[in-house]
Amino acid sequence: MTGFIIATLIILAILIIIKNINVVQQSRAYVIERLGAFSKVWGVGLHFKIPFFERVAKRVSLKEQVLDYPPQPVITKDNVTMQIDTVVYFQITDPKLYAYGVEQPMAAMETLTATTLRNIIGDLELDQTLTSRDVVNTKMRAILDEATDPWGIKVNRVELKNILPPADIQSSMEKQMKAERDRRQAILQAEGQKKSAILIAEGERESAILRADAEKQAAILRAEADKQAAILKADGEAQAILAVQKAMADSLAMLNEKAPNEQVIKLKSIEAMQKIADGQATKIIIPSEMQGLVGMANGIVEGVKEK
């Protein structure tokens, strides 16, 4: 009987020892209390808890955590009520402060986030709220990080997930955006037409310049051709005149060599008069001394015809 009791006590002691052996995983921490007061914080590794005197007051995760809060009604500076939901990224840096700094830390963070968001948005108008997300995020992160520091919490990032204005305002904004897009489209079309007109005008100007240059070149070539033709014609006429004069000179030279009498000279004069008569002259005056010679010449010509 005594042996059974001793064996039972030994087994109970072993079970108690095994139960008070704790292994802390990576990225976790245990807050230990001894007789109701804070004793220490266990980090990663194997730890033994004194039975009946110590207890694990809180198990804390040291990983970065995310809190996605539901949409909160927020009023802007120009009295527009909108729904904004927020996402907070935080990490516990001091397990002791997290365990003893505030009751229900997550609920406290949610309330603090909502009030901070209302305070910041209350200083902004609707348009500023829609276009200043980065500013709001930065302000909220700084305020929340400072406020949660006594709780052992580090706020890494805050994001405004959705901003939902009232339906009527949203409809007005959509109409405004559509009008703005139509205006930009009209401006782009006008600019395109302007550039097209400029290009067409430049093309016509270049074409006109090319046509003018071509006509100028053609006129120059025609003038050169007319000039060459005139020169050649003048040369031909000059050569013809020279040939006639040379022939006349040769004829006179031959006459001089033959020593012509007075009758031959008078006949040559008559031939010259005939040539004159072939022109535009309508009246010819023949000297008296040549009239008899003319009659004799006509008689000779008629005698030849009869034969």
Model pLDDT for residues 26-47, shown as the tens digit of each residue: 889 999 999 889 999 999 989 9
Q: Which residue has the tokens 């040369």?
A: 235
**pLDDT attached to residue 304:** 39
Phi, psi of 69 (to 5 degrees): -85, 145
Tokens of 87: 């996402």
The CA-based diameter of the chain, rounded to the nearest angstrom, is: 205
Domain ranges of the chain: 2-60, 64-165, 266-307
Mean pLDDT of 62-84: 89
Specify the amino acid at residue 41.
V
Among 162-166, 195-199, 230-234, 251-255, the least confident range: 251-255
State the pLDDT confidence band at 233, using cuts at 50, 70 and 90: confident
pLDDT at position 76, please?
Answer: 87
Answer CATH for 64-165 from 3.40.1440.60, 3.30.479.30, 3.40.50.300, 3.40.50.1370 = 3.30.479.30
Quote the radius of gyration of the chain (alpha carbons, Å). Answer: 64
Segment 140-193, tens digit of pLDDT: 999 999 999 999 999 999 999 888 887 777 777 777 777 888 888 889 889 888
Output the pLDDT for position 128. Answer: 83
At residue 44, φ and ψ (nearest 5 deg) are -65, 135
* Amino acid letter, residue 265: I
CA angle 216, 217, 223 (to 5 degrees): 90
Which of 103-107, 178-182, 265-269 is the most confident on average? Answer: 103-107
Q: Is the pLDDT of residue 289 over 70?
A: no
Average pLDDT, the chain: 81
